Amino acid sequence: MNTIAPGPSVTSELNQLDQLKKFTKVVADSADFESMRKFHPQDATTNPTLVYQATQKSEYAHILEKVIVDRKSSALSGGARIEEIMDHLLVAFGCEILNIVPGRVSTEVDARLSFDIESTCAKARRLIALYEAKGVPRERILIKIASTWEGIAAAGKLQTEGIRCNLTVLFTLAQAVRCAEEKVQLISPFVGRICEWFKAANKREYSAAEDPGVHALTAIYNYYKKFDYKTEVMGAAIRNPGQATELAGCDLLTIPPVVLAQLVESNDPVTRKLDAGTAKHCDIQRLALDEKTFRWLLNEDAMATEKIAEGIRLFAADIAKLENFIAAKL
């Protein structure tokens, strides 16, 4: 892997979070409003797991209760009614978040649609319509879609309609390249989950500098900057401060509150590690991808094959939990 010479560090009088913000847009990986007010992120991301966890807390219960009351007169019943409430709930959380962060919020499409292009597009359009009905411009919304072949194809269609997408459950350069070719707005490589797979497979720990997730994201970042792709790179599933600081200079990093707090507690210097200018000089070959090649490369990557399937299953399971919770309320 090509290495990047360390760039300038900022004064250690600042905590690590404030230093990191000099190089990278920091995004809150949370549905917890108070943590966003505390750490002042630029954007925020949510997913079914985070929304489900939030609905279990007393301070957020009123959001779901209001959605249920507001949809009381709906003519829908059964599963269709629960789906309608789910859509309104996701948008309600997103609107609350947009009252706190100055930038964008990511709202996720049902993971069970990850292999269905038309249904993914329909759900994305539905969510955008609900946001726009509340006066939120689509420029402030990123629709999160799993980075399957079908999900990436759906995102490409949506981008032509002015619906900006965040491609998630992403573990490989092949997925990233396909996203860039479809001109999606942003990708979210899962740094922490990549590292966790290698730790389990190799039965060893990794320092931040040798972290396989950090290396995977660095390779994607360098590829994008080398070939002038405009798709934004946002490191996701950040598990510890070391992963965050080793990725200083990445376009964005979405970081959970526990790691944001740890960054605030340290004043160790943060140095730029990723740099678009340096990436231009990396020795990288273009990756030619059609559907057969894409699927073969994923098949040959045991980590990606396992983690993509696992990620989609886990998100789908949390959607089901949220649906059951709503059904009990009804």
Which class would CATH give 16-329?
alpha beta
Query: How much of the chain is helix, strand and coil, in % rounded to 5?
Result: 55, 10, 30
Bridge partners (DSSP) listed for residue 254: 27
- Residue 2's pLDDT is 47
**Cα dist. 99→40, 154, 220 in Å?**
12, 29, 32
Query: For the whole model, what pTM was predicted?
Result: 0.93
Which residue has tokens 């995977």?
Answer: 216
Bridge partners (DSSP) listed for residue 255: 28
Q: Is 144 a catalytic residue?
A: yes
- Residue 301's pLDDT is 98
Residue from 21, 22, 123, 144 carrying the catalytic annotation: 144
By the 10 Å C-beta count (0-12 exposed, 13-18 middle, 19+ buried), 83 is classed as: middle
Gyration radius from the chain CA atoms: 20
| Residue type for position 326 | I
Domain boundaries, the chain: 16-329
Residues in the chain: 330
Structure-token pair, residue 291: 């559907």
Which residue has tokens 């497979």?
Answer: 201
Q: What is the pLDDT along the chain (330 residues), one digit of tens a residue?
A: 444 445 555 556 899 999 999 999 999 999 889 999 999 999 999 888 888 899 999 999 999 999 999 998 899 999 999 999 999 999 999 999 999 999 999 999 999 999 999 999 999 999 999 999 999 999 999 999 999 999 999 999 999 999 999 999 999 999 999 999 999 999 999 999 999 999 999 999 999 999 999 999 999 999 999 999 999 999 999 999 999 999 999 999 999 999 999 999 999 999 999 999 999 999 999 999 999 999 999 999 999 999 999 999 999 999 999 999 999 998
Distance between CA 241 and CA 270 in Å, rounded?
11
- Residue 241's pLDDT is 98
